[in-house]
């Protein structure tokens, strides 16, 4: 037989595009359309429905950036359509290639009942099936004219990302607004041909199955009357029935399809628009669930459920019913799909606390999985947190985006820093917006790296980001792929059903130890510095507020602000979403975030101030009490207590040889040269120099920063090829710092200016560095360099509930790819017996490199912290303005010192006048054990909850002593529920004895007596 394969395939494409798909709607009549443009921000539904619209026609332009237009469409079903299925086809001016990234709409009936969303791939509204003819049709569409930020030419700077700069030019042109007959037989033929055509292209060209399909498709096309597609569609489908009925091979890969609509809680749109995106999507999905009995849909992010509960209760009612029916599945058990690299220990824990508790309270559902398909890498402390929240599985997809190395598994056990292992799955379909295309299904089967040992994978299926979720076409394709020769099998299943099967299928999966590093989007550790500072400050203020409010509640009857703290926590957790905290959202998002963090700080400082005032006693006593919220004793003040501080001594400042200054406090001697650079930091007791020979520390360096794509997200390795050292100083002078010694350094570069104050305090073995940058650069990367005289093959950076080691060398491509990494409060590098820490109050990105000096004179390990960037997309004004950072160089530091100094710089002492020293509410007697939270139990019982962990990576024995009458103690999970499988702690002689494994996390509930 002659090979006519390409001829048939080309025929299929043209006939589908030009004849069969258009015949899905064989008859149509235009609807009358009118529009009312809401002034300012979106209005309530009732107001939009009641407004008086003005006529508009297809072809007319509409929609200022970020505006809301209420369309009213009216018409009459022609009587000759009686007995047919009729739909309204409402095209707001969509580009079908951009679901989720342009205009969207939510359709209402005249009584305000939501019907479904309108999106580029979902433009229909069912009127009747069948209709009687003559029905009057009236629908209202709340349409959002969200501008296209990420266009066909991506990463082009635009002012459309903020309503204040976007202008008023209409963004869209109204397209088809019709009533139309829907021919379901033709629609089914389209799906038959699409599934077989797509499958055919994935099969071997010389395989029998491909040619069976090819011949069947050819026969079907022969039956299609191009002038009467509807009349011939059934006959064409008969020619395809046989090849569609052929069952899959017994060894076929098995895919669990999960209805999905990944919705970024903010990104190229503001938070308020996400509220509406969620309402549109959930309206779509509840409508689809009513008509597709096998379909199941999963949605994560408790915050998004809370939004529709608050703002769209009529939509929420439908969602709750679908959840009760088991078809709409709350997934993930987190408040939002957060970043996991930068959130601190408690914040990461509270993501699960607030997310799981919302799902339990609202739906009675306990989540066993963490669901984070789009998060930019995963910190090594996360497995323990997932397990401590009562979950056991993790799903993500983003690691497939890594540029350098291909991750070796799709299903595996992920082991965290404490040894906890989590069953983890990366969907081999390599997208969280699967549309059931044959290429996607075939890719999942071919790509699955664990074949031969396992056979199950998951496919999150549906358009995300407001694209409308799963479509009826996707459901129809999945039905054909359920058991089809040549394809993986597809079955709609919940995440829990998938994980249960996958775990049973793969009882001994491989193990991956340590962080899941994404070899991409590294610059998200630095972009939008004020958002990151707001997060860090909020995390520590929440610690203080809970600590002092609970101490005051127990000691003096202070009213613990349960609801206020709950609300603030949820606000902070929301802003840890993986496009807000990483700095990859539009200007509007970050402008609002800065205001939100300021309001959060004001509220939390109010709680702290009121609680401390209640504890301090009579202010007329005139004694200055120092409140220490850090987990370690400081200047004679106990951790979590308040007393008169015992600070003594002085630091001296003298002139240096050849100019500059020498700062000396008997512990550390620091020399600052005439350039304002640190050329020596000498540990007097250890007789050890910190700064590498001939080098200078605290050296500001600036690089060009223009990545190949993803401007706010990425920094590419070639940025290092060009660097400018900022060594010229306008001013280097001593400043009055009381008993401390301090030097002020001012530099100008480009259009920017930096002022630093370097301070050596009495009794402190650290050099404090306060930096103010008035930043006006574009596409530049600012770092501070610390070349250290130390030989180390690895270094430690803090992560949640511990620290994680990375290599300083680049032996392998995996190590070389980690050229920008994340830390929390500290980075630490050491030789046995002596180390150096660099601590910070708000930065996360850093890099560590090593060089061997000439003539065998030792190794220089250079630690650089990332301060600022200046990408122009999606916010063209990223980081412009004044920024303040605090760092401290700590020579001679152990890991324990790094932990202590990291808390110190983030939790400054507070001073209150009074006459009543405050004993800690809870104490521990081992500095390696860090108390991460002291709070009252969330259930309002008044019990005290203490969370603590081993911080240095070794075994630790400690006594936990409550500073109040405790009648009993229980070990709990993060949600403060007793652990059934835990060794029961005992309260004996007024203390709880704990023996902790390295980095072990423990939550204790201390029951209060009368």
Q: So which residues are the catalytic ones?
A: 374
Q: What token pair was written down for 439? A: 């290429």
Q: SS in 3 state form for 197-210?
A: HHHHHHCCCCCHHH
Grouping H, G, I as helix, E, B as strand and the rest as coil, residue 484 is coil
Are residues 362 and 387 in contact, defined by beta-carbon separation less than 8 angstroms? Answer: no
Closest by CA position to 262, among listed 346, 337, 361 = 337
Q: What token pair was written down for 972? A: 């709990």
- Which residue(s) pair with 378 in the sheet? 516
Grouping H, G, I as helix, E, B as strand and the rest as coil, residue 995 is strand
Are residues 665 and 652 in contact, defined by beta-carbon separation less than 8 angstroms? Answer: yes
Give the sheet arrangement for strand 929-936, strand by strand.
929-936, 944-950, 1001-1008, 966-972
User: Could you give the C-alpha distances from 878 to 18, 163, 585, 589, 884, in angstroms and in order?
Assistant: 46, 16, 10, 12, 15
Q: SS in 3 state form for 929-962?
A: EEEEEEEECCCCCCCEEEEEEECCCCCEEEEEEE
Q: How far apart are CA 551 and CA 547, in angstroms?
A: 6
DSSP per residue, 872-941: -SS-TTTT-EEEEEEEEEEET--HHHHHHHHHHHHS--EEEEES--B--SEEES-TTEEEEEEEE-TTSS
Q: What token pair was written down for 202? A: 């994935």
Are residues 426 and 407 in contact, defined by beta-carbon separation less than 8 angstroms? Answer: yes
The packing angle between helices 184-202 and 438-447, to 10°, is: 40
Closest by CA position to 49, among listed 68, 63, 76 = 68
Q: SS in 3 state form for 248-281?
A: CCCCCCEEEEEECCCCCCCCCCCHHHHHHHHHHH
Q: What token pair was written down for 757? A: 């104050």
Q: How far apart are CA 872 and CA 797, in angstroms?
A: 30
Grouping H, G, I as helix, E, B as strand and the rest as coil, residue 486 is coil
User: Could you give the C-alpha distances from 182 to 132, 314, 672, in angstroms and in order?
Assistant: 15, 28, 79
Are residues 790 and 861 in contact, defined by beta-carbon separation less than 8 angstroms? Answer: yes
Are residues 219 and 172 in contact, defined by beta-carbon separation less than 8 angstroms? Answer: no
DSSP per residue, 620-637: GG-EEEEEE-SSS-BTTB
Are residues 273 and 144 in contact, defined by beta-carbon separation less than 8 angstroms? Answer: yes
> Checking DSSP bridges between strand 826-831 and strand 834-840, what pairing results, if any?
antiparallel
Closest by CA position to 977, among listed 301, 356, 539, 331 = 356
User: What is the rounded end-to-end Cα distance, in angstroms, of the chain?
Assistant: 93
């Amino acid at each position: 037989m002659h090979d006519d394969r390409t001829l048939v395939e080309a025929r299929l494409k043209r006939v589908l595009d030009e004849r069969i798909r258009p015949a899905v709607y064989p008859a149509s009549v235009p609807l009358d359309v009118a529009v009312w443009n809401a002034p300012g921000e979106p209005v309530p539904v009732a107001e939009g429905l009641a407004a008086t619209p003005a006529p508009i026609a297809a072809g007319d332009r509409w929609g200022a950036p970020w505006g809301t237009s209420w369309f009213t469409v009216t018409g009459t079903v022609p009587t000759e359509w009686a007995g047919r299925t009729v739909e309204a086809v409402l095209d707001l001016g969509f580009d079908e290639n951009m679901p989720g990234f342009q205009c969207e709409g939510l359709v209402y009936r005249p009584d305000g009942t939501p019907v479904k969303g309108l999106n580029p791939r979902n433009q229909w509204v069912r009127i009747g099936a069948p209709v009687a003819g003559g029905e009057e049709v009236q629908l209202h569409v709340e349409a959002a004219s969200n501008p296209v930020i990420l266009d066909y030419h991506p990463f082009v700077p635009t002012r459309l990302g903020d309503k204040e700069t976007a202008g008023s030019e209409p963004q869209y042109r109204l397209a088809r607004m019709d009533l139309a007959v829907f021919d379901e037989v033709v629609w089914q033929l389209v799906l038959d041909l699409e599934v077989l055509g797509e499958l055919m292209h994935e099969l071997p060209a010389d395989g029998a199955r491909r040619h069976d399909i090819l011949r069947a498709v050819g026969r079907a096309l022969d039956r299609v009357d191009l002038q009467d597609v509807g009349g011939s569609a059934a006959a064409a489908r008969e020619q395809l029935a046989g090849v569609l009925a052929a069952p899959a091979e017994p060894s076929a890969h098995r895919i669990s399809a999960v209805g999905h609509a990944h919705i970024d809680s903010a990104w190229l749109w503001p938070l308020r628009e996400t509220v509406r995106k969620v309402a549109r999507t959930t309206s779509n999905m509840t409508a689809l669930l009513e008509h597709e009995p096998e379909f199941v849909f999963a949605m994560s992010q408790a915050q998004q459920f809370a939004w529709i509960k608050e703002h769209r209760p009529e939509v929420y009612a439908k969602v709750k019913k679908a959840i009760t029916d088991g078809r709409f599945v709350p997934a993930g058990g987190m408040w939002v799909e957060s970043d996991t690299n930068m959130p601190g220990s408690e914040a990461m824990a509270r993501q699960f606390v607030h997310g799981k508790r919302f799902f339990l309270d609202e739906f009675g559902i306990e989540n066993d999985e963490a669901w984070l398909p789009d998060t930019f890498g995963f910190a090594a402390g996360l497995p323990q947190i997932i397990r401590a929240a009562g979950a056991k599985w993790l799903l993500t997809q983003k690691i497939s985006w890594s540029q350098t190395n291909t991750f070796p598994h799709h299903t595996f056990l992920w082991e965290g820093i404490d040894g906890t292992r989590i069953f983890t799955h990366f969907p081999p379909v390599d997208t969280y917006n699967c549309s059931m295309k044959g290429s996607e299904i075939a890719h999942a089967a071919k790509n699955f790296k664990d074949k031969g040992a396992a056979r199950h994978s998951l496919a999150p299926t549906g358009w995300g980001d407001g694209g409308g979720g799963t479509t009826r076409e996707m459901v129809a394709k999945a039905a054909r792929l359920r058991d089809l020769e040549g394809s993986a099998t597809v079955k709609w299943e919940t995440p829990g059903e998938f994980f249960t099967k996958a775990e049973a299928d793969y009882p001994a999966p491989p193990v991956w130890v340590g962080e899941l590093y994404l070899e991409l989007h590294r610059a998200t550790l630095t972009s939008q510095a004020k958002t990151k500072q707001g997060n860090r400050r909020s995390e520590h203020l929440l610690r203080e507020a809970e600590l002092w409010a609970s101490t005051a509640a127990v000691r003096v009857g202070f009213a613990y602000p349960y609801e206020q703290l709950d609300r603030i926590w949820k606000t902070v957790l929301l802003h840890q979403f993986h496009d807000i905290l990483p700095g990859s959202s539009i200007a509007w998002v970050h402008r609002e975030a800065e205001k939100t963090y300021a309001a959060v700080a004001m509220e939390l400082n109010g709680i702290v101030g009121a609680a401390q005032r209640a504890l301090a006693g009579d202010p007329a006593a005139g004694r200055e009490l120092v409140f220490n919220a850090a987990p370690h004793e400081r200047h004679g003040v106990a951790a979590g207590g308040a007393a008169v501080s015992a600070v003594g001594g002085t630091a001296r400042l003298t002139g240096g040889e050849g100019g500059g200054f020498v700062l000396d406090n008997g512990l550390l001697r620091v020399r600052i040269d005439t350039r304002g650079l640190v050329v020596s930091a000498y540990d007097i007791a250890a007789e050890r120099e910190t700064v590498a020979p001939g080098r200078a520390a605290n050296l500001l360096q600036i690089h060009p920063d223009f990545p190949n794509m993803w401007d706010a997200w990425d920094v590419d390795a070639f940025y290092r090829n060009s660097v400018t050292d900022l060594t010229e100083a306008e001013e280097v002078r001593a400043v009055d710092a009381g008993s401390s010694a301090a030097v002020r350094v001012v530099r100008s570069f480009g259009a920017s200016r930096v002022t630093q104050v370097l301070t050596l305090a009495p009794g402190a073995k650290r050099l404090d560095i306060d930096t103010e940058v008035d930043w006006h650069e574009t596409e530049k990367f600012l770092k501070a360099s610390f070349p250290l005289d130390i030989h180390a093959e690895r270094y430690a950076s803090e992560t949640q509930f511990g620290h994680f080691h990375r290599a300083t060398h680049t032996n392998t491509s995996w190590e070389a790819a980690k050229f920008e990494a994340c830390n929390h409060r500290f980075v630490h590098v050491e030789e046995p017996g002596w180390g150096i820490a660099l601590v910070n109050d708000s930065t996360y990105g850093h890099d560590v490199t090593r060089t061997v000096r000439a003539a065998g004179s030792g190794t220089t390990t250079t630690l650089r912290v990332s301060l600022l960037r200046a990408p122009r997309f999606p916010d063209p004004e990223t980081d412009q303005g004044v920024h303040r950072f605090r760092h401290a160089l700590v020579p001679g530091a152990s890991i324990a010192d790094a932990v202590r100094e990291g808390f110190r710089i983030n939790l400054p002492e507070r001073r209150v006048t009074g006459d009543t020293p405050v004993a800690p509410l809870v104490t521990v007697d081992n500095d390696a054990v860090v108390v991460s939270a002291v709070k009252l139990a969330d259930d309002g019982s008044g019990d005290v909850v203490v969370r603590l962990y081993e911080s240095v990576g070794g075994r630790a024995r400690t006594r936990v002593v409550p500073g109040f009458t405790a009648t009993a103690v229980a070990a709990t999970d993060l949600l403060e529920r007793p652990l059934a499988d835990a060794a029961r702690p005992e309260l004996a002689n007024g203390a709880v004895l704990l023996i902790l494994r390295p980095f072990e996390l423990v939550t204790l509930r201390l029951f209060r007596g009368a």
